[in-house]
Amino acid sequence: MNNSLAFALTIGFLLGLKHATEADHLVAVTTIVSEQRSVWRSGLVGVLWGVGHTVSLLAAGVLVIILGIAIPQPIAAVLEFLVAVMIIFLGSRILYLTLRRRTHVHVHSHEHDGYAHTHFHFHNHSDAHETRIHRQEPEHHVQSGLSGWRPLIVGMIHGLAGSAVLTLLVLAEVVQNGTRTLGMAYLLIFGIGSIGGMLLMSILISLPIVLTTRRFERIQVPLRFVVSIFSIAFGIYYAWITGREI
């Protein structure tokens, strides 16, 4: 392997690491990670996202690099808008699962040492008589967060949305100065970098969530409430940004 080829593949790996830190990727994965109760399961979320993302990139690479079929800009814009809709759906799902067993969610105002403040209260009729069985119910629900390979599907959608720009970049910069095989290798290395990047980010995101909810059980519900609201708000903003290009 010559120096220029090694340099190109190294850049591809580093760009893959950086690509995993884009805002829409982190918001989607954070929403899924908020359901997990262990760091290793959160890391698995990141790996599955990266694998789905890489599969989509390689599929797009076959179209663009091997078959020479360009991805039209209108389709790319629709795919980006689909990402926004997906983020809104993920946030709405967490919000629904968080509140469905709560019979009372209200704003509570009171004073401490002459200072008034307001906050949300989340509780139901069983809070006053909570048993060990009740406390274990959320654990079972949380561990089901990987059902349906949700992170894999989310990663595939993200990969499709970003495939137009990335594959065209490879076609212009790599393939013209090398071969189609080099172009596909570049996308594969880029995908491996994105897997590693999202694995790292998922673990870092999960640490405060896991450590906090283990020590303070009651913070679990308001924490997911905040994550879901932020996800929905970001999704709406992202839909507004991407929708203007359709």
* pLDDT digits 0-9 by tens, 118-138: 555 555 444 444 444 444 444
Query: Is a pLDDT exceeding 70 seen at residue 195?
Result: yes
Total tally of structural domains belonging to the chain: 1
Per the domain annotation, does 119 fall within a domain?
no
How distant is the alpha carbon of residue 46 from its chain centre? 8
Q: Which of 168, 167, 193 is nearest to 18 (CA)?
A: 193
Domain assignment present for 125: no
Greatest Cα-to-Cα distance within the chain, rounded to the nearest angstrom: 73
Decide if 107 is inside a domain: no
Within-domain flag for 237: yes
Asked, for residue 90, whether it belongs to a domain, the answer is yes
What residues are paired with 122 via a beta bridge? 105
Q: Which residues lie closer than 8 Å to 178 by C-beta, 6 or more apart?
A: 5, 8
Rg of the chain (C-alpha set): 21
Answer left, alpha or beta for residue 142, where phi above 0 means left and psi between -120 and 50 means alpha.
alpha
Does this model's pTM top 0.85? My answer is no
Which domain, by its residues, includes 167? 7-102+151-243
- Does 82 reside within a domain? yes
Provide the pLDDT for residue 52.
94
- Domain-embedded: residue 121: no
Domain membership flag for residue 54? yes
pLDDT tens sequence across 8-47: 788 889 988 988 899 999 999 999 998 888 899 999 999 9
